Amino acid sequence: MKVNIKSMPKVFAFLPLIGLVFLSSCSIRPVAWNPLPAPAFESELELNTELVASKKIDLLGYYGAEDFVVDSEGFLYTGVHSSPTDFSSGAILRFKKDGSAEEFMKTSGWITGMSFDQTGGLVALMHGVGLLRIQAGRVDTLLTHTSDGKPLLMGAGLKIDQEGMIYFTNLSSTNKPSPKYFNKLILEMKPTGGVYRYDPKLDLVTEISSGNYFGNGLELSENEDFLLVSETSKYRILKYWLKGPKAGTKEVFADNLPGFPNNISRAKNGNYWLGFTTKRNMQLDQLHLKPGMKKIVYSLPSFLQPAPEAFGMVLELDDSGKITRALFDPSGETVKEAGAVFENEGCLFLGGDVVQYVSKIKIK
């Protein structure tokens, strides 16, 4: 066999990259999945530009408004992180009556779910820690592990019922958040984390779901008889029955959605607002059929990884999961992402994982 000695230095130069790709591909165990064809943007999903009229609220240099909550005085709060790629520090911001944001407190992690309890304490999920309770300048750690003793490293949605029970999701007990790990959750297509209920009076946590496909946003029904959980990577919303003859069972609430569902919240009219990180990607849907190719894509350097398309989308769903309204910014120039959605005082507030502002738009 003839060897071209002159080409050897070039080969050696690429060896570190080849080795890195090989090691990265070994760290993911994806499975094949055949998603349904994405629904067309027609009929109730016909594209419009309603979100383009929104106004931007600066986040003081922070990123990632992922959840919103209002206190008894009408002030709006959200959790943010300090960098598009680093979620290890951040803050809780409060929106003043003039609409601008102010720093309520700094945090040592990203707050991704929050709700006020009956005494006015702010219960929050912080990545890398777990459940916290904040009141009068004091921060108490309520819970750091799931019912089977695994750490709460990537908590997401959080809601508190009238009895004080705290419902939340956990995306992972093995990894803290990073763009690389988010890609792994989507590509690997395996149920991780879970859905839990915590009783602060008994200091008892129980498991509602042992695993979800990127289990993300969470919302309680008005009667608190079921729980809705968005599964981002499977483009669907699940319903977990908490009370009644179906208690302890689950069913699909909305399936084959047009994008990556994220946060879900109750609308004032009894329906639900569903935010999306971005729309579906045909290449990704096709890639899900090929586990080997998914390993190669995951192992690519970050600058070669496919980036989410800027695309603002919010859907309104009724109590049966039917789409009743759709709001868009197809260009993504005004609303780059609408992963978080919350209705307050006749307006929608929209946030996103790596967006440096909150969008506010009057509901027509």
CATH number at residue 220: 2.120.10.30
Give percent above pLDDT 70 in the chain.
93
Mean model confidence pLDDT for the chain:
91
**298-320, pLDDT tens digit by residue?**
998 877 777 889 999 999 999 99
**157-175, pLDDT tens digit by residue?**
999 999 999 999 999 999 9
In a domain? residue 251: yes
> How far, in Å, are 106, 127, 271, 337 from residue 354 at the CA level?
18, 15, 27, 8
Tell the residue number behind the tokens 């911001």, with chain if given.
93
Compute the C-alpha angle 219/225/231, nearest 5°. 35
Tell the residue number behind the tokens 């102010």, with chain if given.
102
The sign of the dihedral angle between the CA atoms of 283, 289, 291, 293 is: negative
Tokens of 150: 């695994």
Give pLDDT, residue 13.
43
Query: What range defines the domain where residue 127 resides?
Result: 9-362
In a domain? residue 274: yes
Under 8 Å between Cβ of 227 and 207: no
pLDDT band at 22 (very low <50, low <70, confident <90, very high): very low
CA 131 – CA 89 distance, rounded (Å): 16
CA 213 – CA 112 distance, rounded (Å): 18
pLDDT at 4 over 60: no
pLDDT at 8 over 60: no
Which residues fall within 8 angstroms of residue 228, CB to CB, at 6 or more apart? 217, 218, 219, 220, 221, 237, 238, 239, 240, 253, 264, 272
In a domain? residue 3: no
In a domain? residue 4: no
Tokens of 295: 């390993």
In a domain? residue 357: yes
Give pLDDT, residue 301.
86
**How large is the average pLDDT for residues 56-85?**
96
In a domain? residue 67: yes
pLDDT at 18 over 90: no
pLDDT at 21 over 80: no
**How large is the average pLDDT for residues 113-121?**
95
pTM, to two decimals: 0.92
Tell the residue number behind the tokens 């970050």, with chain if given.
302
pLDDT band at 26 (very low <50, low <70, confident <90, very high): low
In a domain? residue 148: yes
In a domain? residue 351: yes
In the chain, the number of structural domains is 1
Strands 312-317, 272-279: parallel, antiparallel or unpaired by DSSP?
antiparallel
Under 8 Å between Cβ of 82 and 90: yes
Give pLDDT, residue 97.
85
DSSP 3-state of 24:
helix
Under 8 Å between Cβ of 27 and 20: no
pLDDT at 3 over 60: no
pLDDT at 69 over 90: yes
Give pLDDT, residue 309.
94
